[in-house]
């Protein structure tokens, strides 16, 4: 049974693409990934390696938080928050009160004073726990948000504050680990050999996702299936490797932007997570596709114009799910004064699906190369599968471009500038 299907719509100029030209490079990268031990490759087998005790610990902690709090505050940025946010948006229903979980709010992913002030104000009548997440333990945004919320927790809970703070950080080192040990906060480990944007399937993502009421056992089951399916060395049989090769080939032929597109608004944070994963992994040494995204049909009424007729620098990757659990039917109207009865045998999902097909055809005819990724069902199993698929494809893509998928030397430049400015005595205007 295939859990994920990859297909393409390319015009004649791209029809000559021969996958077999990449067989040898893929095979070398495949073995490199399997064998390197000095790199941050722990995520590759993480879904298989995580133990039942570790999952139980997360479940127990999640039950405790749900029983004693109205809100979980997750403090983190980049890879330390986007995965949990993406899964929560994709799987926890809109508008309705969560059935098996509580509200999870994200903080420390920006430096806005107004966001912070309003967040603290919103907590006044509600009980909360804090989960601060940082692999390095020294990230500016996370650290200052944690300072504010530590103070506020003490104001609210006094001596008991420390029982409501959970620290998720590097298993071996770091300032946050030292603080947690000194203050007696409970700790969850991020394996040292897993970097931020590949850490979703560790406690970084799993605790907040579980507190939001999503079944983490199913997420891990989907990811485990992906580990097995996507460890196939033969390029023709490995969808992650095929996706990596397709995007590399398009990049080599001059396309500069990959636009991830989907027709379900709940996937918009999967887009954000994907952008961070590919942008930080590939964008270095003056190389790399620029990862961008659109939410259709909303963006058909804005960026759709550019995609159809603008500068032909992009290709589109459509992400979709065959079966969705919820739908809304269009009622029949005797008067038909809005002239919509021709659609009354259809549901929103039907119309959405047909809109997707129409958009793919129009953009293809407008000269945009199309990749389509389709999964069976929008559920925890397939989301786990998809996220692992993207991580594996991303690492392979970066190696095809001959860059290291696991470092981010470029982010040091702005960090140094900010630090220098913050250390200056005079106020910079």
Distance in Å, CB of 386 to ligand PA5, minimum: 18
Hey, is 285 helix, strand or coil? coil
Q: Which is nearer to ligand PA5, 8 or 168 (CB)?
A: 168
Q: Which is nearer to ligand PA5, 369 or 405 (CB)?
A: 405
Residues 81-100 that bind ligand PA5 (CB under 6 A): none
Q: Each residue of 35-66: b (16+ CB within 10 Å) or e?
A: eeeeebbbbbebbeebeeeebebbeebbebbb
Q: Which of 280, 282, 316, 356 is catalytic?
A: 280
Residues 403-422 that bind ligand PA5 (CB under 6 A): 408
Q: Residues with Cβ < 8 Å from 416, sequence gap 6 or more?
A: none
Distance in Å, CB of 190 to ligand PA5, minimum: 8
Q: Which of 117, 173, 287, 415 is catalytic?
A: 415
| Whether 392 is catalytic | no
Residues 260-299 that bind ligand PA5 (CB under 6 A): 280
Distance in Å, CB of 10 to ligand PA5, minimum: 32
Q: What is the DSSP string of 82-140?
A: HHHHHHHHHHSPSSSPPSS--EEEEESSS--HHHHHHHHHHTTTS-EEEEEEESSS--H
Q: Which is nearer to ligand PA5, 229 or 272 (CB)?
A: 272
Q: Residue 313 half-sphere exposure, CB side, CA atoms within 13 Å? A: 8
Q: Residues with Cβ < 8 Å from 39, sequence gap 6 or more?
A: 193, 404, 406
Binding characters for ligand PA5, 50-79, by CB under 6 A (x = yes): ---------------------------xxx
Distance, CA of 261 to CA of 409 (rounded, Å) = 29
**Total residues in contact with ligand PA5, by rule CB under 6 A:** 14
Q: Which of 195, 203, 208, 405 binds ligand PA5 (CB under 6 A)?
A: 195
Q: Which of 101, 196, 222, 283 binds ligand PA5 (CB under 6 A)?
A: 196
Residues 127-166 that bind ligand PA5 (CB under 6 A): 134-136, 139, 142
Q: Are 209 and 58 in contact (CB under 8 A)?
A: no
Residues 22-41 that bind ligand PA5 (CB under 6 A): none
Q: Residues with Cβ < 8 Å from 212, sequence gap 6 or more?
A: 84, 87, 88, 92, 98, 101, 102, 104
| Whether 316 is catalytic | no
Distance in Å, CB of 292 to ligand PA5, minimum: 18
Distance in Å, CB of 209 to ligand PA5, minimum: 16
> Residue with CB nearest ligand PA5?
196
Q: Give the residue from 212, 210, 3, 254 showing the smallest Cα distance to 105.
A: 212
Six-digit token pair at 297? 């049909």
Hey, is 214 helix, strand or coil? coil
Give the H/E segment covering residue 183. helix 175-183
Give the H/E segment covering residue 4. strand 4-9
Q: Which is nearer to ligand PA5, 26 or 77 (CB)?
A: 77
242 is a contact residue toward ligand PA5 (CB under 6 A):
no
* Catalytic residue IDs: 280, 415
> Which residues are at the interface with ligand PA5 (CB under 6 A)?
77-80, 134-136, 139, 142, 195-197, 280, 408
């Amino acid at each position: 049974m295939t859990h994920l299907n990859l297909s393409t719509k390319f015009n004649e100029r791209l029809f000559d693409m021969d996958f077999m030209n990449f067989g040898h490079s893929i095979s070398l990268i495949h073995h490199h990934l399997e064998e390197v031990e000095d790199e941050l490759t722990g995520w590759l087998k993480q879904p298989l390696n995580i133990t039942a005790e570790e999952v139980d610990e997360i479940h127990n902690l999640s039950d405790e938080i749900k029983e004693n709090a109205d809100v979980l505050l997750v403090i983190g940025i980049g890879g330390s928050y986007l995965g949990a946010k993406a899964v929560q948006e994709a799987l926890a229903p809109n508008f309705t009160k969560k059935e098996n979980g509580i509200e999870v709010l994200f903080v420390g992913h920006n430096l806005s004073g107004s966001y912070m002030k309003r967040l603290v104000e919103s907590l006044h009548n509600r009980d909360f726990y804090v989960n601060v997440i940082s692999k390095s333990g020294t990230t500016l945004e996370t650290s200052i948000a944690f300072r504010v919320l530590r103070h506020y927790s003490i104001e609210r809970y006094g001596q008991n504050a420390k029982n409501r703070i959970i620290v998720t950080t590097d298993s071996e080192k770091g300032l946050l680990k030292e603080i947690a040990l000194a203050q007696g906060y409970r700790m969850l480990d991020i394996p040292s050999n897993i970097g931020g944007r590949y850490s979703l399937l560790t406690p970084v993502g799993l605790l907040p996702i579980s507190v939001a009421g999503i079944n983490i056992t199913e997420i891990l089951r989907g990811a485990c299936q992906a580990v097995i399916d996507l460890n196939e060395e033969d390029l023709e049989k490995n969808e992650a490797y095929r996706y990596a090769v397709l995007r590399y080939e398009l990049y080599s032929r001059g396309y500069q932007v990959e636009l991830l597109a989907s027709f379900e608004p709940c996937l918009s944070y999967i887009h954000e997570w994907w952008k961070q994963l590919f942008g930080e992994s590939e964008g270095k040494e003056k190389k790399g596709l620029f990862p961008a995204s659109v939410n259709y049909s909303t963006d058909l009424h804005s960026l759709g114009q550019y995609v159809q007729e603008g500068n032909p620098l992009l290709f589109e990757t459509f992400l979709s799910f065959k079966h969705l659990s919820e739908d809304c039917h269009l009622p029949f109207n005797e008067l038909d004064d809005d002239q919509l009865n021709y659609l009354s045998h259809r549901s929103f999902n039907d119309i959405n699906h047909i809109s997707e097909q129409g958009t793919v055809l129009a953009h293809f005819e407008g000269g945009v190369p199309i990749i389509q990724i389709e999964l069976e069902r929008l559920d925890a199993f397939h989301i786990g599968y998809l996220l692992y698929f993207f991580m594996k494809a991303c690492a392979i893509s970066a190696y095809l471009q001959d860059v290291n998928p696991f470092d981010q030397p470029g982010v040091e430049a702005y960090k140094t500038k900010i630090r220098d400015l913050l250390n200056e005595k005079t106020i910079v205007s």
